[in-house]
Amino acid sequence: MAKTIGVLTGGGDVPGLNPAIKALALGAMEMGYRVLGIRRGWAGLLHYNLDEPSTHDYYIRELTPESVRTIDRTGGTFLHTSRTNPQKVSKSATPDFLKNSKWGKPVPDSEGVTDYTDYVLKVIEHLGIDVLTPIGGDDTLSFAVRLHREGMPVVALPKTMDNDVFGTDYCIGFSTAVTRSVEFITNMRTSVGSHERIGIVELFGRNSGETSLISAYLSYVDRAIISEVPFNIEKLANFLLEDKRNNPSNYAIMTISEGAIMEGGEVIESGEADAYGHRKLGGVGEITAQAIKQLTGQNIMYQQLGYLMRSGAPDSLDRMVAMSFGNLAVQLIRRNDTGKMVALHGGKYTTVPVEMVLAGKKRVDVASYYDIDQYKPRVKDFMGVPMFLS
C-alpha cells in the first residue's frame, strides 16, 4: 500500500531547505508515495480546522514534480515556517476554533499555556499521513520527538545555521552561513582598513559559537569571541589595540557570537519568549563595541550580520547534504525504519534515534579548537579532525 508522507519546515529559514524538500518529494514520488507539504511548520497542523474547508488547501498542498521543479534554485523554504510549538500554545497564539475546545490540555506550571498535541495527531490522522518528515533544529524536532513517543512514525532532518543539533556533525544551512559570513567579513575590511578602525562583526549563534569560530578561522580575523567562553572586555580591548598596531594597514577586526557573555555579565536578550522559551538574542556586539571605544578611545565599526548570514541560495555543500538527507529519509521510510533522524558522523551519512536531539546541547570543543587565553581559533592537532571542526 502506498504511503502518504507529510513534510514541513520549522524554526529559522536556512539555505538548503528547498533542495531537501525537492529530493525527498521526488524520491518518494518515484516510489509511488504521496507527499503532502505542510505550510508554516507545526502551525500548519495546529491551524488546520477540520470543520473549515478553507483552511485545508491553505495549510496543506500535495506536492508534485511540477510544484517542486524549481524550488531548489532559491534559499529559504517555499513551505514557509514558524516557531509554533503545539505542546506549548499561549492564549494569544491559539486558533479561535480551538479555544475552549475538548482538545486542549493545560500545561502544568504554565499559566494560560495549553498542549494541543492530541489535536495535531487528529489532523494527521484525518490527512492520512503515514510518516512525518520534519526539517528543523532542536526546537522544531523536540515536538517530533513528542509525536514519536505518541506512536507517530517520524523521520527527521536536522537544519540550523548554528550547526548545533545534538546527534549530527552537520546540519543543513551551516556551510552557506559560514560562506556568507566570510564574504562579508572580507568585504568589510575595505572600510575598516580605509578608516583605520576596529571592526566588530556579530554573528548568529545562541548556544554554539561554531559560526563565529569557523568564520574567524577562515577569514583570518584577529580575535574571535564564542558563546562557550565568557570574555574579559579589558583583555579583549588590549588585544585589539595590539593587533591594530601590528597591522601595516593599522586596523583590527574580530567576530563575536550573539550568545557570547562578558565576564560577570549575561546573555543579551530582548522581547517576549517564544513557544520554546527563547527570547531574541543580539546586541552583545554593540555593547562590546561601546565598551572597547570607551576603553581604547578608538573609533569602532560594528556590524550585526544577522539574517544576511542565511539569505540567498545554498552553496554546493549545503545542496549536497540537503539532497542526500532527503534521499536518505525516503530510503528509511521505504524500509519502515522510523523514529530516526538522518545525520552525518565522521563525514558519512547515518542515522540516530530522533530522541537524540533532546540528549544535550552541541557546543564547540573548546579544548581542541579554541585558545581561551588569546581569544582565537586554534586547532591543537589536525590529524583526524572533522572537516568542519565539529
CA distances from 355 to 265, 322, 326 (A): 33, 21, 19
Among 238, 264, 4, 19, CA closest to 135: 19
| Cα angle, residue 171 at apex, residues 35 and 153 outer, rounded to 5° | 40
Residue 219 contacts residue 185 (beta carbons within 8 Å): yes
- Pairing status of strand 340-345 against strand 348-353: antiparallel
Catalytic entry in 130, 162, 222, 274: 162
Active site residue 72: no
- Show the 3-state SS of the chain: CCCEEEEEECCCCCCCHHHHHHHHHHHHHHCCCEEEEECCCHHHHHCCCCCCCHHHHHHEEECCCCCCCCHHHCCCCCCCCCCCCCCCECCCCCCHHHCCCCCCEECCCCCCCEECHHHHHHHHHHHCCCEEEEEECHHHHHHHHHHHHCCCCEEEEEECCCCCCCCCCCCECHHHHHHHHHHHHHHHHHHHHHCCCEEEEEECCCCCCHHHHHHHHHHCCCEEECCCCCECHHHHHHHHHHHHHHCCCCCEEEEEECCCCECCCCCCEECCCCCCCCCEECCHHHHHHHHHHHHHCCCEEEEECHHHHHCCCCCHHHHHHHHHHHHHHHHHHHCCCCCEEEEEECCEEEEEEHHHHHCCCCCCCHHHHEECCCCEECCCCCCCCCCCCC
One-letter identity of residue 299: N
Q: Which residues are catalytic?
A: 162
